[in-house]
Amino acid sequence: MLNKAGAACMSICVLAAFMAACTQNGGGQEAKPAPQAEKPDRLSTSEPLTLKVWTGDNEQMFKETLVDPIKKKFPNVTLERIASQELSLDKLIAAGNPPDMIKQTKNFMIFNVMPVKMEMDLTPLIKKYNYDLERYDPGLIQSMRSFGAQGQLYGLPTTKVGHSLLYNKQLFDKFAVPAPKDEMTWDEAIKLAARMTRLENGVQYRGMDLQFYNMIASQLNLSVIDKNGKANMSAWSRPAEMFRQLYSIPGNNVPIPGTIAKVMEPFYKETLAMVVINPSTMMTATKQYPQLAWDLVTVPTYPEAPGVDPYTNYTYFGITPTSKYPDEAFKIITYLNSDEMQTELNRAGYPTVLKNPDIQKQFAANSPELKGKNLQAIFKHKQSDPYVSPYFDNSVDSLVRTKFNEIIAGKKDNNTLLRELDEAIDKKVAELKAAAK
């Protein structure tokens, strides 16, 4: 006969067995718990949502291209601008105020975002929402993937930065020289620059200038520092020779301007016939210089690399790993990159990142002052994408500029100067590595 403790124990066991039996269905399998409904994102509700965006856009651009279209589409969403010119990411992190989204140019990923681990792979969200990357210029997506060691995608391009050769139509007419055309080689363009360079009535006219010294090297996918942290300037013999030919033209041999404003100044004054540059500078300034008759063609190329423009550049959107609203941020980004919004931005003069030719053809259509110009030149070539080392800082850039000014001055042969530059860069990289320890 059971005592009280034994009876209590048996009762508990019987009860447990009874409850277990009740949880089985007719097939003898355990019933699965009812799936929980996924929590709706804030975009589909009326609940207010503020997303902080770390960006280099000024207030007007931020309002016109982000705030206004998003407020129209999602009335409950407020985008708050955090100016990267005023607050760095590390300061925001230290203050406990990191952004939700990033809108910056490509190089910010290398020099500002990844060093503080504020990149987030968008691949899971792309898969979750079955987002189509095939709509994009494939070179831009490939460039974004190059930042991830395993092909992670840390952002989506939103505005392309194009390049072209601008030229002054009146100067070519004045000197009875045939105007530049699409698909010129560098040899052809330099010969044209030589014909346009002259001293006339006390005015020095120059044939051509470049926005940056590395443009003609990037077309051959040449980097300043390779992926192993070693200087790569000895490989620049071909572009260095092109550079020397251009700037050894008597009257065209001026030091590297160093800034966009300085390189454009003689073009605005109509003493520079051609300049290889991002044409958005001139497009923006057209109303300022109504007397300046200008047009554009594709950037000159190498015979061994036809149809290749200087380095890939673009503005991209990213989401930070600290954001509480990654799904909402992703949907906002994909809306801004929709055909509708990309068409609107492209018509406003922000080159589309999509490969749709029907959208590309509408570039800058909202600007009547640009009608008739060869604006499609910026879409005709693919862009190169040379490696950019995190050690390529202002001090290294200064070393390269100095040596290229020596090439202009003809102080030594190119191979000697490039070898000396390799040595100087390797020394500087070693200093940077030591300082980082």
Phi-psi region of 221 (alpha: psi -120 to 50; beta: other; left: phi over 0): left
**Which residue is associated with the tokens 């191979």?**
415
- What is the pLDDT, as a whole number, of residue 9? 40
Q: What is the mean pLDDT of residues 58-83?
A: 96
Quickly list DSSP for 122-165: -HHHHHHTT--GGGB-HHHHHHHHTTSTT-----EEEEE---EE
Q: Please count the CA atoms within 13 angstroms of the CA of 224 that sit on its side-chain side.
A: 26
Q: What is the mean pLDDT of residues 394-423?
A: 93
- What is the pLDDT, as a whole number, of residue 91? 96
- What is the pLDDT, as a whole number, of residue 259? 87
Q: Write out the H or E segment, with its range, that includes residue 54.
A: strand 49-55
pLDDT band at 27 (very low <50, low <70, confident <90, very high): very low
The vertex-283 CA angle with 279 and 288, nearest 5°, equals 135
CA pair distance 261, 135, nearest whole angstrom: 35
367 pLDDT higher than 60 = yes
Q: What is the mean pLDDT of residues 389-395?
A: 93
Rg (CA), the chain: 29
Give residue-wise pLDDT tens across range 214-236. Answer: 999 999 999 999 999 999 999 99
Q: What is the mean pLDDT of residues 250-270?
A: 92
Q: What is the mean pLDDT of residues 337-344?
A: 98
How many Å from the N-terminal Cα to the C-terminal Cα in the chain?
79
CA pair distance 117, 128, nearest whole angstrom: 23
- What is the pLDDT, as a whole number, of residue 239? 95
CA pair distance 30, 255, nearest whole angstrom: 80
Q: What is the mean pLDDT of residues 6-35?
A: 41
422 pLDDT higher than 50 = yes
Lowest mean pLDDT among 3-12, 120-129, 258-267, 280-289: 3-12
Q: At what angle do helices 394-409 and 414-436 cross, to 10 degrees?
A: 170
What residues contact residue 273 under an 8 Å CB cut-off, 6+ apart?
167, 168, 171, 172, 193, 196, 197, 205, 206, 207, 208
% of the chain with per-residue pLDDT over 70: 91
- The answer, as to whether pTM is greater than 0.75, is yes
401-405: long-range contacts at Cβ-Cβ below 8 A with a sequence spacing of 24 or more?
A: 401/213, 401/256, 401/258, 403/233, 404/213, 404/240, 404/243, 404/256, 405/255, 405/256
Q: What is the mean pLDDT of residues 411-424?
A: 94
Q: What is the mean pLDDT of the chain?
A: 91
